[in-house]
Structure 1
Amino acid sequence: MTPGQRQALERLWPRYGLDLPDGALDLDQAFGRQAPRTLEIGFGMGDALLALAAAHPQQDFIGVEVYPPGIGSFLLRVEQAGLSNVRVICADAVEVLARHLPAASLDRLLVLFPDPWPKKRHHKRRLVNAAFLDLAARVLRCGGQLHIATDWADYAAAIGEVLQGSPDFAPSPLLADATGRPETKYERRGQRLGHDIHEFRVRRR
């Protein structure tokens, strides 16, 4: 972590950071209002989250990330953009979904280009599986949207299979194209490598 990232994290965390309680977060209290809410898991550089928050000031956005240096850099960008509708959690996403978000508290859940763990022996570490879908279904309201994107073909095949087997999600025809999702750093890298982009948009039954 650079000195600038450390200073940004220390200075801006009280404003934008969410410390996890023993139980569920009070999101209305965290944002000081009631509004539609989107959570992005593993926001990385934060390009998509920042663009969405800037474009939709009437909505609230939460980012979950485990790497403090990236969070420090992102918080600086949030401050520079003058945004008040962004909060950040530094924790494992599975723990956040399982223990710290109220049921039916999200309108949208984004998983954009998660770590593909390309080696076969590491596939068990991949985020998107049946257990993850159970957690996603718990935190999404009825009709809420789950949006997943990857540039790894075998991961995409596995995601499609697990989504098809889930009783909690159905295709979301209202999100049949890629509009409304800003491009990410990892997406651009995949495109440079010649990878196809695979998108999955489903709604909570």
Structure 2
Amino acid sequence: MNDPRHDDKTTGLEGPNAPLHRRGIKSYVLRAGRTTQAQTRGLEEVWPRLGLTLADGRQDLDALFGRQAPRVLEVGFGMGGSLIEQAERHPGTDFIGIEVHAPGVGKLLDEADKRGLTNLRVYREDALAVLEQCLPEASLDTLQLFFPDPWPKKKHHKRRIVQPAFVELVRGRLKPGGTLHMATDWQAYAEWMAEVMEAAPGFANTAGPETAPYVPRPEFRPLTKFEARGEKLGHGVWDLIFKRVD
């Protein structure tokens, strides 16, 4: 969900027992877009090795990666630059990325193959469906949500992915002590995130009293080109990191 921004889209309520991804939160709208030769190579040649689908079912992550290691999931990686950088910088950690837009998925797969990365897997699916159907409980050390669509108009706030039901789903997939790390360049959305998280059971804010509810950008979160341009223009970015405590 890095810029170019995704559209979160609601699809109508189907009752409280319906899957979360069908109860009014959808993390994207598919958009037409051209793919480059390299992106097409990633989708066609690298996907069979690193790609995952809902049809693969609930994953045994140790079997998937062939080892035990810390696990990081990034929801909406955009064109994949940040995720590639993290996977290359931290070979001892396993990364799973979720993105629905073909150019971004193809670019990430092409880059992962060129750099020989083995600690990265990719879903091209609805993130909420992946969380519900594919990832075991208490299997993640970190979930990253960087620069999701802020849906700034009040009438569209219900379309924001950060909602109490989403946060509760994330809590179940995080290990005790695991973290939900969010970042946004929209202050109003940062305030929304903080409000939702402060009300969410089982989480504690890791921010110190000097900066709460936000934290300074951690060194381990790569600075995106979009963010760097914004900083030069004086735009703010807000990071929030909450730990699962129950």
Range into which the TM-score falls when normalised by the shorter chain: over 0.9
Indicate whether 1:15 and 2:49 are aligned. Answer: yes
Report the Cα distance in structure 1 between the residues aligned to 2:243 and 2:205, rounded to whole angstroms: 6
Report the Cα distance in structure 1 between the residues aligned to 2:46 and 2:36, rounded to whole angstroms: 14
Indicate whether 1:54 and 2:88 are aligned. Answer: yes
* CA RMSD of superposed structures (Å): 1.9
Provide the identity percentage.
50
Question: Retained in 2: the 8 A contact 1:113–1:186?
Answer: no
Report the Cα distance in structure 1 between the residues aligned to 2:55 and 2:244, rounded to whole angstroms: 27
Indicate whether 1:136 and 2:178 are aligned. Answer: no
Task: Describe the shift of the 1:51–1:117 C-alpha distance in structure 2 as closer, same or farther (beyond 3 A).
Answer: same
The amino acid of 1:2's aligned partner reads T
> 1:179 — aligned with what?
219
What is the CA deviation profile of residues 33-55 of structure 1, one whole-angstrom value per residue up to 9, with x for unaligned ones? 12110000000121221111111
Q: Tell me by how many angstroms 1:9 deviates.
A: 0.4
Any stretches of 5+ residues in structure 2 without a counterpart? Answer: 1-33, 209-213
From 113, 130, 140, the equivalent of 2:147 is 113
Q: Tell me by how many angstroms 1:128 deviates.
A: 0.8
SS at match of 1:21: helix
Query: What is the TM-score when the length of structure 2 is the normalising length?
Result: 0.78
Q: Tell me by how many angstroms 1:22 deviates.
A: 6.4
SS at match of 2:52: coil
> 1:203 — aligned with what?
243
Report the Cα distance in structure 1 between the residues aligned to 2:180 and 2:227, rounded to whole angstroms: 18
Shifted more, 146-155 versus 24-33: the winner is: 24-33
The amino acid of 1:18's aligned partner reads L
Any stretches of 5+ residues in structure 1 without a counterpart? Answer: none
From 63, 66, 77, the equivalent of 2:111 is 77
Report the Cα distance in structure 1 between the residues aligned to 2:49 and 2:158, rounded to whole angstroms: 36
When the two structures are aligned, how many residues end up with a matched partner? 205
Report the Cα distance in structure 2 between the residues aligned to 1:182 and 1:66, rounded to whole angstroms: 21
